[in-house]
């Protein structure tokens, strides 16, 4: 049984992430989308919200599970009996960052391999932060994220503007 971990902030999950996890779940028996609890980023959604949004988004993917973690990624990967980290690559900028991260993971635990999926061409130009920026200004993001994420973004920015 090959278990892979797809770690990330997923703030919120986008169609780009879902494309990667759908393709990874065709290759591995089980893929855990692991929400990093405390990334060095300003988050819009809490960890519980990011998990709930991911659970809804992956309901039709039986091999995909959702979890959270707050330790070193390689320690988490080992703790769930996995030996593969899945990441997506959109462009050379991603590559530079991901190359460095993969080497760090490999140095910390040589038993763990990082497997990269090239983003589908329709997903290469956006990230969760692009989605948040468009949604914050009232733009349409329904072509970038599933419908329940559109609704969650609307609620989140409505709350912010009410405060
Ligand atoms: P992190 O904070 O760990 O970078 P993200 O949620 O931003 O978390 O991204 C997680 C992974 O998903 C990264 O490997 C990133 O390159 C990939 N990714 C992000 N957006 C897309 C997209 N639109 N298409 C494909 N992969 C993506």
Q: What backbone phi and psi angles, to 5 degrees, belong to 110?
A: -65, -10
54 lines ligand 1 (CB under 6 A): no
Residue 162: predicted pLDDT = 73
Is 163 a residue whose pLDDT tops 90? no
pLDDT digit string, tens, across residues 100-150: 999 999 999 999 999 999 999 999 999 999 999 999 999 999 999 999 999
Q: Report the distance separating Cα 53 and Cα 45, nearest Å.
A: 10
Percentage of the chain with pLDDT > 70?
A: 99
Please list, in sequence order, all residues whose beta carbon lies within 8 angstroms of the beta carbon of residue 35, skipping any fewer than 6 positions away: 8, 9, 10, 47, 50, 51, 54, 66, 67, 68, 69
**Do 48 and 11 form a contact (C-beta atoms < 8 A)?**
no
Task: Determine the pLDDT at residue 158.
Answer: 87
For ligand 1, the distance from its centroid to the CA atom of residue 162, given in whole angstroms, is 30
- Measured from the CA of 126, which atom of ligand 1 is nearest? 23
**Is 59's pLDDT higher than 90?**
yes
- DSSP-derived 3-state class of residue 4: strand
Positive or negative, the Cα torsion across 73, 50, 149, 77? positive
Q: What is the pLDDT of residue 136?
A: 96
Q: What is the pTM of this model?
A: 0.95
The pLDDT score that the predictor gives to residue 27 is 97
């Amino acid at each position: 049984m090959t278990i892979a971990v797809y770690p990330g902030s997923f703030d919120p999950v986008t169609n780009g992430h879902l494309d990667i996890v759908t393709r990874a779940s065709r290759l591995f028996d089980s893929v855990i989308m692991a929400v990093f609890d405390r990334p060095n980023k300003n988050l819009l959604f809490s960890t519980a919200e990011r998990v709930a949004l991911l659970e809804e988004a992956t309901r039709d993917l039986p091999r995909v599970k959702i979890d959270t973690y707050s330790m070193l990624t390689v320690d988490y990967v080992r703790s769930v009996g996995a030996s593969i980290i899945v990441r997506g690559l959109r462009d050379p900028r991603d590559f530079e960052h991901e190359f460095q991260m993969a080497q760090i993971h490999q140095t910390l635990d040589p038993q763990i391999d990082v497997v990269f999926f090239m983003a589908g061409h329709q997903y290469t130009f956006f990230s969760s932060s692009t989605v948040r920026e468009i949604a914050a200004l009232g733009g349409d993001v329904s072509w970038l994220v599933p419908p329940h994420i559109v609704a969650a973004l609307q609620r989140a920015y409505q709350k912010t503007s009410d405060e």
